[in-house]
Amino acid sequence: MSQAQHITVLGATGSVGLSTLDVIARHPDRYNVFALTGFTRLAELLALCVRHTPRFAVVPTAEAARQLEDGLFTAGVDTRVLVGEGGLCEVSAHPQVDTVLAAIVGAAGLRPTLAAVEAGKKVLLANKEALVMSGALFMQAVRRSGTVLLPLDSEHNAIFQCLPGNYANGLDSVGVRRVLLTASGGPFRETPLPELEHVSPEQACAHPNWSMGRKISVDSASMMNKGLELIEACWLFDTSPSRIEVVIHPQSVIHSMVDYVDGSVLAQLGNPDMRTPIAHALAWPERIDSGVAPLNLFSVGRLDFQAPDEERFPCLRLARQAAEAGDSAPAVLNAANEVAVAAFLDRRIRFPEIASMIDEVLNLESVIAVSELETVFEVDARARALAEQWLGRHGR
């Protein structure tokens, strides 16, 4: 019998999903694709099913299921198609699954990712929005089920690699002074401020170092991505926002650092390619080949660092405020940001209005305690409604 781990890839058709399948395909003896999920890119999902022959595939609607089933039948592939959020949760919690890779973008990933946590699967987390929305409940569920949660986000994966194995007792107990969260600064790091009024979605999505999905690319351009990552780091490493310093490092070679009380600073370096953190988390505590070229320090040449400019990147300040406010504030921030980014990608608002919209929604929505998941979804829905109202008044 095969000893290969059975893996569900949530968001298989996306950037992280495809990088994951690339790593998995290099190690057929270790990994077996159990389920793949997609949303709009059905032709790509079909091609992935033909290539990886999963037991299950999940699509959003019955119509999409019929389409995929027709393609699978023609190709002679015996993959069962499930539908909707119920299907996503089923393939996340299925008894035969060992590991779930959570790479759906946005709030849509929360329930299926939590289903994997609650079922005690090893969870490799890319879907930072899920943790930002529901951090306290999410981490409670992790502790309750005893699941292994490993960060795929390159910065958090780097921090994890720079921490000793026993950091779960608190960063103080292992002598950590600060966490240094690196950021490239994105495509608009040096764009003259007045020009930000006129930047296009295409410019925002043209990240200098990383190739990623459209939502996270816009988040990187506004630095909301770093804000979400700050909140993500607080939950993953059980620390406060004041212990996390954001450092702009345009080359994206250092993926983050940990500063210890004795003055040592440990960093994780590598080419900016998600296959490194994916391979690390898949094989942890072992190491496997990821397909990433060795880092050539001579061609990198130099490593630069800058403090972030909050006038240029107001989203970073808003995220830090939400992190400090705690409770429901990060869920409000996340929901308003999802609406704002979609509106910017649809050309309904200008780039600087992303921050204006989020700022107003955060001011209008009072911070409430969150003790159950339903509250998270209520907060999320209210914040989206407020953001839509803002769009009605200011959007095109």
Please count the residues of this chain forming the interface with ligand NDP, following the rule CB under 6 A.
26
Residues 201, 210, 303, 382: which binds ligand NDP (CB under 6 A)? 210
Stretch that binds Mg ion, among 148-156, 264-272, 278-286, 325-333 (CB under 5 A): 148-156
DSSP label of 272: S
Picking from 323, 314, 318, 313, the residue whose alpha carbon sits closest to that of residue 361 is 318
Examine residue 115 and tell whether it contacts ligand NDP (CB under 6 A).
Answer: no
Considering the complex, what minimum distance in angstroms separates the CB of residue 176 from Mg ion? 20
Nearer to ligand NDP, 90 or 153 (CB): 153
Record the tokens describing residue 64, joined without a space.
């999409």
x-or-dash pattern for ligand NDP, window 118-147, by CB under 6 A?
--------xxxx------------------
Examine residue 344 and tell whether it contacts ligand NDP (CB under 6 A).
Answer: no
Based on C-alpha coordinates, what's the Rg of the chain?
20
Is 256 in contact with 267 (CB distance < 8 Å)? yes
Strand partners for 259: 178, 265
All residues at 6 or more sequence positions from 131 whose CB lies less than 8 Å from its CB, including other chains: 125, 138, 231, 232, 235, 236
Considering the complex, what minimum distance in angstroms separates the CB of residue 83 from Mg ion? 31
**Interatomic CA distance for residues 21 and 44, integer angstroms:** 13
**Interatomic CA distance for residues 59 and 11, integer angstroms:** 10
Residues 216, 231, 234, 316: which binds ligand NDP (CB under 6 A)? 216
The tally of CA atoms less than 13 A away on the side-chain side of residue 106 is 20
Residues 38, 87, 186, 241: which binds ligand NDP (CB under 6 A)? 38
Examine residue 153 and tell whether it contacts Mg ion (CB under 5 A).
Answer: yes
The tally of CA atoms less than 13 A away on the side-chain side of residue 253 is 14
Nearer to Mg ion, 153 or 380 (CB): 153
Which residues contact Mg ion (rule: CB under 5 A)? 153-155
Residue numbers at the binding site for ligand NDP (CB under 6 A): 11-17, 38-41, 103-105, 108, 126-129, 153, 210, 212-213, 215-216, 274
